[in-house]
Amino acid sequence: MSFRTTDSTDYIEDVSPGRGGLPPRAWYAASDAASLSLNGRWRFRLSATAGAEDESFAEPGFDASGWDEVAVPGHWVLQGDGAFGAPIYTNHLYPFPVDPPYVPTENPTGDHLHTFDLPDDWPADGDAVLRFDGVESCARVWLNGEDIGEFKGSRLPHEFAVGRLLKRTGNVLAVRVHQWSSGSYLEDQDQWWLPGIFRDVALLHRPEGAASDFFVHASYDHRSGEGTLRVDSLVEGRVTVPELGIDVATGEPLTVPVEPWTAETPRLYDGVLATAGERIPLRIGFRTVVVEDGVIKVNGKRILFRGVNRHEFHPEKGRTVDLDTMRRDLVLMKQHNINAVRTSHYPPHPAFLDLCDELGLWVIDECDLETHGFVEQAWRDNPVDDDRWTPALLDRAARMVERDKNHPSVVIWSLGNEAGTGRGLTAMAEWIHDRDPDRLVHYEGDINCRDTDMYSRMYASHAEVEQIGRGLDGGTHKRRDLPFILCEYAHAMGNGPGGLSDYQRLFEKYERNQGGFVWEWIDHGIKHAELGYAYGGDFGEELHDGNFVCDGLIFPDRTPSPGLVEYKKVIEPVRIEGDGPAGTVRITNGHDFADLSHLAFEWSYQVDGETVEAGSLAVPGLAAGESAEVKLPEPPADSRGAETGWTVRALLAEDTAWATKGHEVAWAQLPVTERAPVPVAAGEQPTSRDRLIHLGPASFDARTGELRTVGAVDVTGLRLDVWRATTDNDNGASWQDDIRYGLLWQKLGLHRMRHRIDAVELGDDALTVRTRVAPAAWELGLRTVYRWTADGSRLRLTVSVTPDGEWKVPLPRLGIRFGLPSSADHVKWFGGGPGEAYPDTRAASRLGRWQSSIDDLQTPYVRPQENGARADVRWAEIGGLRIEGDPEFWFTARRWTTEQLDAAEHRTDLVPGDTVWVNLDNGQGGIGSQSCGPGPLPQYLLGAEPAEFSFTFTEINE
């Protein structure tokens, strides 16, 4: 160890990974050696530049009583109510001039001071290690006045031997953290820039004879059913696994019959590594990962990734994520049928991987490396292609692999994300392959798979994924023989992603396509007093990428978004199909390993959406991949005229670590009898009196033909509507030059359609209002005829739409909208639910009877946009009206207008008015994934074509 005595700040811009630290090694949560958490309140002083303050604060006796305090772990910009600076969000732009390895003089620097005593029982012998699990982006450390070194590599552990410096009491730990360093050039991930000591700090006692680094090799031979265990350890010792009768020296392999570890059956064996001075608990999972016959196989079987990309994020704590939150993420994933996580784009808190081992997830562990901002200069000076940086890259690779190598859940190492290409990446891949030949290497940027074991892409279109699946994508010889994954797809920004089912079909159809990882798990909205959740720009950043940081399957508060509910349905590991009228159901076990004995099946029978009978269904305990035909019971007697169908569900038969017995894993509905035609309402003749037209239960404005009342219910502004508050996916990403419908719609003026009344005609049995609906400046329009008929109590509207002119764009929606008094605060419906659905996000929409407050119909996307439509609605009751659709319709209701929704930038901009606005749509446009990927597939677009649809309104007593 060397000591520096000057006040130099050169280390900040030095490309070397650090000085003074220990070599990386395996991480474990605890052993029988003493440890002391140094987390807590630390003294804190912020400077605007790196050299503003001298190093005297690190001297024992320094008086920091006047300093502020921060929580460690934590990010200083998220503490101090704005007094300590603010977060910055950029996608790939560096928020400082690109001149590697130099960083700005304005370099927020946080001096942290912590004083601690050793516990009374801290052993007097041995050594001690000071461990930092994560500090962004560069730290210099002193203990009791001694400079012990500095490091970079924010989401990686760094250890220092400190035993000789420790005192029983009054130890002073001083850490100077710089927001910007040469390391920042390697950490250009799409996320908030959040400096600080954001993961745990601990002091670990190292007894004489303590274990140092160790590597658990636990493979599984699916042919023999045996596992082979070999624990290599730098310090010799013995390995015991009582359950397997194993007691063997380190370095010695032993083969015994075992149950294998898989993400579906995460069988772990408790063991102990005992060296002369330390006992470390091991959790051993036996499994073997290979690429064989062009596919990734675990324990001899092809696996299918049903994955997500997970950034570490908490709406108040940033990347300081506690154990409960980590577990909550994983439990939510498991409950939603997710079986894989890519730790985008850096190794997570190390304890997260313990949880993945325990709960069962395949993990792509990704290195803390991204240099995406160099794309702006055609990748010139990219550190990954500059030998001076290679030691830093190798250091990062080693810190990840050494830390995480003992986790059965980790099956793939990823070199990093969006770092271009270069020799440094090749060096990393070579090092990793050499150090750990038993896992695979991934890097998406390696398009020719020079260094990797699989072909990986992000946001490839369905058509391209199909080509890849068929092996028609070309590419290098090596690539053609490799399996394919989508390390990112289905951009879950705002409403969406659409098209998941269509991807899933391609994963299930082609062996080579081994699934993908939805982008991404959580919206990174930062809790904000005025805005609800803040996104890029809300902290006054000079450069930012807006709400591109809110693109997760769960909202910042970790409630599932409709996208997650949809994903769960699309990837369910049991397929239930069948023939409702014939009463047969085909069950297919889509697991890769597990049989169906952990599930119980249930049938129920619905009449007009109400369950009238239910029972259990005997399904054989099918092995993975098998199917069976099962007979349903006799349907309940006579429900003539009603719409009927079966629902079959697969539920957990017993409690698991992630859900309780009865948790639903898969389901399907099999229709039996179709819905009866909606009876027409006709016979009444419209009459005109007192500037009103009267027809059956309704009155209309005599001049405009606009509906005024249905019975006692006031109705306002009923007219054709084609506009929706564009979604992030409608708007597309700014860099895309493909067709972006949101922009085309805006350009055409679909948000400012004018309604010209051409005729109000009173016929013998109908009131007919002829209109033309069109935007200023263009010749195209929609001829729209409203034909009203009624019997004594029911009012029927038939809307006929005929496009005029040449429509080259699809429509956002097609239907009517109208206002009801704000007392209409509740809705009941028979149709799809309980959550929202759109044409390409409707797999999880289930036919039934549902009810909700108007407020609860809203999906709280961080940036407000179209949301909340319910699909396939037969009828809805709201505000004293029953509305029947012919055909079924999309139902939406909200306490603000579409225009207000469109204008809102945050949820807090939405203020309920005195009207509830209801949309009844005959069609909705698909959602797609164009906020980063492809737009909606053609079959989900809503063409501007002639259309006719009807609604019957009846006043009811609710």
For the CB of residue 500, give the shortest distance to ligand GAL in the complex, in Å. Answer: 16
| Residue 329 or 872 having the CB closest to ligand GAL | 329
| Residue 444 or 836 having the CB closest to ligand GAL | 444
| Count of Cβ atoms closer than 10 Å to residue 127 Cβ | 15
| Residue 665 or 862 having the CB closest to ligand GAL | 862
| Residue 630 or 932 having the CB closest to ligand GAL | 932
User: What's the residue count for the chain?
Assistant: 958
Residue 215 token pair: 């590597």
- Catalytic choice (418, 643, 684, 884): 418
For the CB of residue 309, give the shortest distance to ligand GAL in the complex, in Å. Answer: 7
State the residue for tokens 């007392």: 823
Q: What's the rounded Cα separation, in Å, for the pair 876 and 903?
A: 28
Residues 203/35, Cβ–Cβ less than 8 Å:
yes
Ordered alpha helix ranges (H), 644-707: none
Helix (H, G, I), strand (E, B) or coil at 913: coil
For the CB of residue 191, give the shortest distance to ligand GAL in the complex, in Å. Answer: 8
The one-character DSSP state at 314 is B
| Residue 55 or 520 having the CB closest to ligand GAL | 520
Task: List interacting residues with ligand GAL (CB under 6 A).
Answer: 91, 189-190, 345, 417-418, 458, 488, 491, 519, 548, 551, 932
State the residue for tokens 């994508």: 473
**Is residue 583 left, alpha or beta, with left meaning phi > 0 and alpha meaning psi from -120 to 50?**
left
State the residue for tokens 């099999």: 670
Instruction: Tell me, yes or no, if 488 is annotated catalytic.
Output: yes
**Encoded amino acid at 920, one letter:** L
For the CB of residue 533, give the shortest distance to ligand GAL in the complex, in Å. Answer: 17
Q: What's the rounded Cα separation, in Å, for the pair 253 and 249?
A: 9
For the CB of residue 860, give the shortest distance to ligand GAL in the complex, in Å. Answer: 20
| Residue 28 or 535 having the CB closest to ligand GAL | 535
Residues 364/356, Cβ–Cβ less than 8 Å:
no
The one-character DSSP state at 738 is S
| Residue 189 or 514 having the CB closest to ligand GAL | 189
- Catalytic choice (488, 643, 884, 888): 488
Closest by Cα among 887, 917, 890 to 901: 917
**Looking at beta carbons, which residue is closest to ligand GAL?**
190
State the residue for tokens 């160099």: 374
230 by Cβ neighbours in 10 Å (0-12 / 13-18 / 19+) ranks as middle
Burial 473-505 (b: 16+ CB within 10 A, else e): beeeeebbebbbbbbbbbbbbbbbbbbbbbbbe
**φ and ψ of 328, to 5 deg:** -60, -40
State the residue for tokens 């030059």: 737
- Sign, CA dihedral 21-24-25-29, equals positive
Q: In the chain, count of helices (H) and strands (E)?
A: 13, 59
Residues 26/233, Cβ–Cβ less than 8 Å:
no
Instruction: Tell me, yes or no, if 358 is annotated catalytic.
Output: no
| Residue 689 or 735 having the CB closest to ligand GAL | 735
Helix (H, G, I), strand (E, B) or coil at 381: coil
Closest by Cα among 421, 440, 428 to 483: 440
| Residue 85 or 183 having the CB closest to ligand GAL | 183
Q: Give catalytic residues, as residue numbers.
A: 418, 488
